[in-house]
Amino acid sequence: MKKDYHFCISGQNELICRTEPDYIRAFNCLAISAFKTNSTLLADAIMSNHIHVCIRSENIQSFIKDFRYSYTRYFNRKYGRVGSLGESCAFLSELQGYYHIMAVISYVLRNPVHHGVARTPFAYKYCSASAYFQSDMGLNGEVCLLPQKSCYKYLPKACIKPDHFLMGIDGQILRETVLDIVDVEYKYATVRSFLYYMNRLSGEEWRLEQEKDNISAPSVDISTIEPATLGQSVQEMLHNEHGKRKIGITDIELCSLVDNKLLPMYHQESVYSLSERNKYDLLYLLKNEYNINDKQARRCLKML
């Protein structure tokens, strides 16, 4: 019997997505792993150092194992890295009641806002917020598709991609061909309700609403749904909900600077091949010449 789950994996002391192709491959691996395990994706948010997924599955552990193996294999091969990627035990919780499920999906979609990389969920291209109510939101424009024969270079080796998983020219499987859009839209009922949840501030009202489910599972809030977050306080995430934070250089932009401009000075192709001395030299450079804060610079250099 299939059940609904919230799955979150953190990179712990390193990033798990450094470039746009990494974000694309991460979602493609999620989609293929869901197909292989007869699971259904409901919502996702792929961040630089952690990934949130809401999924319906009858074998959630098989899904997690398959996804982690396929994405880690890609990441290690690309960056000359060895070993498992991310924490040994991913955060996993079963979703039981209607309001409980609604709260978790809403928090997952709003994750980019909480982490200060976007002012609205719709401004962040690596989460599924823009996949729902596309017609009502004016987002269902024509998409350029990649020919079927060209898709497999963006997918795990020897995988099978179902024909209805369409792929855009950037190499990413279109979320609207993978997610159970109908079910999620049914939960929100209307686009107005969906927009309300996307802009709703966290608070006691969320907890009281979830108590209507009368289930054994504890209610979720911004502090409990982010167990894998590294170094970001609840107060900071709550402040970001107001959408007034200035968006600084993102991890993907910083990694592009490091990987494409700074690493060649050391004749290296990956931060994983840098010596500790090289890393401290780059840390000093990023902080003093590029005005990057210490925590972000260390995160992108794998120094945390």
- Domain layout of the chain by residue ranges: 3-240, 251-300
Cβ 38 vs Cβ 184: under 8 Å: no
State which amino acid sits at residue 43. A
Whether the Cβ atoms of residue 111 and residue 127 lie closer than 8 Å to each other:
yes
Token pair listed for 193: 């309700």
The CA-atom distances, in angstroms, between 129 and each of 64, 137, 139 are 22, 11, 11
For 145, the 3-state DSSP assignment is strand
Letter for the amino acid at 58?
E
Strand, coil or helix: 41: strand
Cα 143 to Cα 113, 169, 243, 264: the distances in Å are 26, 9, 29, 36
Q: What is the pTM of this model?
A: 0.95
Instruction: Read off the pLDDT of residues 175-215 as tens digits, 9 standing for 90 and up.
Output: 999 999 999 999 999 999 999 999 999 999 999 999 999 88
The reported pLDDT for the residue numbered 83 is 93
| Cα–Cα distance, 198 to 129 (Å, whole number) | 9
* SS3 state at 10: strand
pLDDT of residue 243: 85
Quick check: 66 and 73 in contact, CB under 8 A?
no
Strand arrangement, sheet containing 3-10: 40-46, 50-57, 3-10, 91-95
- Residues 26 and 23: their CA atoms lie apart, in Å, by 5
The residues, ordered by sequence, that sit 6+ positions from 289 with a Cβ below 8 Å of its Cβ are none
Q: pLDDT tens for the chain, 304 residues: list them.
A: 899 999 999 987 799 999 999 999 999 999 999 999 999 999 999 999 999 999 999 999 999 999 999 999 999 999 999 999 988 888 899 999 999 999 999 999 999 999 999 999 999 999 999 999 999 999 877 889 999 889 989 998 888 889 999 999 999 999 999 999 999 999 999 999 999 999 999 999 999 999 999 888 888 998 888 754 556 788 899 999 998 888 889 999 999 999 999 999 999 989 999 999 999 999 999 999 999 999 999 999 999 7
Give alpha helix (H) positions in 110-232. Answer: 111-114, 134-137, 181-188, 191-199, 204-210
Q: Which CATH number fits domain 3-240: 3.30.160.340, 3.40.50.10090, 3.30.565.10, 3.30.70.1290?
A: 3.30.70.1290
Q: What is the pLDDT of residue 231?
A: 62
Q: Return d(Cα 188, Cα 237) in angstroms, integer.
A: 24
